[in-house]
Chains A and B, each alone.
Chain A
Amino acid sequence: MSQAAAMASARARGTESADHAVESIRLPLFKQWLTELPDASRRQVWLDLGRLQVCLVPHLLEHSARLLVADLTIGGESGSDQRVALDRLLPQCCWNEPLDRVCLWDLLDYLEPENLSTLSAELAGHAGHGCRLHALIQYSRADMPQSPRRLRLKPDGMLEVSNRSAATRTAPRPSPKRLEKLMPEFAVDRTMLLNNGMQEFVLVRK
């Protein structure tokens, strides 16, 4: 389907989203993560399940943190395809040090529930004491883009969010309780509603 046709279809369904607009949002909880990095104690290990965020690298490495980048691409695949992607990717990660922080970005919105639980169990198995996860979940709107948005952390600390297409799908919008049920190894620690309708979640290893 062409982009124009997809947009027209979305409009007809009344599900047109923010379309292709690029918006910048603040991530207060994520920013707080950065400020909480210890100065020179034990080195931290971060796992970024999304694409390489170039602007994140200098700060982490200045603190001698180790950064693992998974570049996990999950879109509109079936649950079994997602599972294949997870099974292929996760063993490749360097698990020789316990994880302190995990950046999930908007991955939780796109993973099928059973795969979410699989990912949670895998992360929990490699999580260090007090390991925290950060996620962005569509909350205010009932729909979300069909495919994950392009998320780019900018030098000013804002997150640039751009849609790849106008097509939408129903957003799972899990409550904190539902999320904890799907990810039983973690507890919701903090949430923050952002002005674009997404919600920041910080989960902590139980």
Chain B
Amino acid sequence: MFQKRESNETEQTHNPQASAQRSEPARAVSSGKVATIGPTVRIEGRLEAEEDVILEGRFKGTVDLKKNTLTVGKDGSLEAEVYAATILVEGKVDGDLYASERLNIRKSARVTGNIYAPRISLEDGARFRGSIDMDADSEPFRKAFGGKSTKPPAEISAARPSGSQPSDARKAETSGDGNPTGNAGNKQSSGTAG
């Protein structure tokens, strides 16, 4: 059922542009041992491991890899609650994902569920339905990992809209980048822009 192999692959980068340039399947590996659930394998139940797991088949239930990495491959299908240090999704997931360190959703991913992680990497093109929560003090996160993450504060690797930093945005507001009109109240107003 499980194929074990030693892995020499390197850890995933947080840079989506760099990761998008790679053609080989992504693998996030945090320890030397990796267990692969092959594409013809279907499992229901609870999965616990002290090593990284790559899912290429189907799994339904609960995944507990709190010190390790779960990778859902492009052909992998997961219907489960997942608790892991790192979660990397390329395939289909239906369920809540809790990552104590980071979560990476690739462009081929289809995710329905809520995700909780202090660091999240998203690629354009990924389909997602659910909520994104990076607050390590949130109740679901604390319940999942028994306390605040030891990792640094929230970090995201997807690009942000320019001018959206508060300080930059205030500058943009006064530099004529768009000319919104109207009042902060309920009074209706209109304008034009282009």
Contact with A along B28-51 (1 / 0, CB 8 A): 000000000000000000000000
Known: A62-B156, A66-B135, A157-B164. A152 touches B129 (CB 8 A): no
Asked if A181 lies at the interface with its beta carbon under 8 angstroms from chain B, I say no
Chain B neighbourhood of A189, CB < 8 A: 182, 185-188
Asked if A194 lies at the interface with its beta carbon under 8 angstroms from chain B, I say yes
Task: Verify B164–A31 contact, CB threshold 8 A.
Answer: yes
| A69-B165 Cα distance, complex, nearest whole Å | 22
Within 8 A of A (CB), among B139-160: 154, 156-160
Task: Verify A39–B166 contact, CB threshold 8 A.
Answer: yes
Q: With contacts defined as CB atoms under 8 Å apart, how many contacts are there between chain A and chain B in the complex? A: 155
Task: Verify B193–A34 contact, CB threshold 8 A.
Answer: no
Known: A26-B178, A37-B166, A190-B182. A54 touches B158 (CB 8 A): yes
Chain A neighbourhood of B13, CB < 8 A: none
Determine which of B131, B160, B179, B191 lies in contact with A68 in the assembled complex, contact meaning CB atoms within 8 Å. B131
Asked if A90 lies at the interface with its beta carbon under 8 angstroms from chain B, I say no
Within 8 A of B (CB), among A162-206: 176, 187-196, 200, 204
Task: Verify B186–A204 contact, CB threshold 8 A.
Answer: yes
Determine which of B124, B156, B157, B191 lies in contact with A192 in the assembled complex, contact meaning CB atoms within 8 Å. B191
Known: A28-B180, A31-B177, A55-B160. A192 touches B190 (CB 8 A): yes
Task: Verify B131–A192 contact, CB threshold 8 A.
Answer: no
Task: Verify A187–B186 contact, CB threshold 8 A.
Answer: yes
Minimum CB–CB distance for B153 against chain A, Å? 9
Within 8 A of B (CB), among A18-34: 25-29, 31-32, 34
Least CB separation from A205: chain B residue = B186
| A153-B163 Cα distance, complex, nearest whole Å | 13
| A43-B135 Cα distance, complex, nearest whole Å | 10
Chain A neighbourhood of B124, CB < 8 A: 54-55, 152
Asked if B189 lies at the interface with its beta carbon under 8 angstroms from chain A, I say yes
Task: Verify B161–A191 contact, CB threshold 8 A.
Answer: no
| A154-B124 Cα distance, complex, nearest whole Å | 10
Within 8 A of B (CB), among A52-76: 52, 54-59, 61-62, 64, 66-71
Asked if A155 lies at the interface with its beta carbon under 8 angstroms from chain B, I say yes
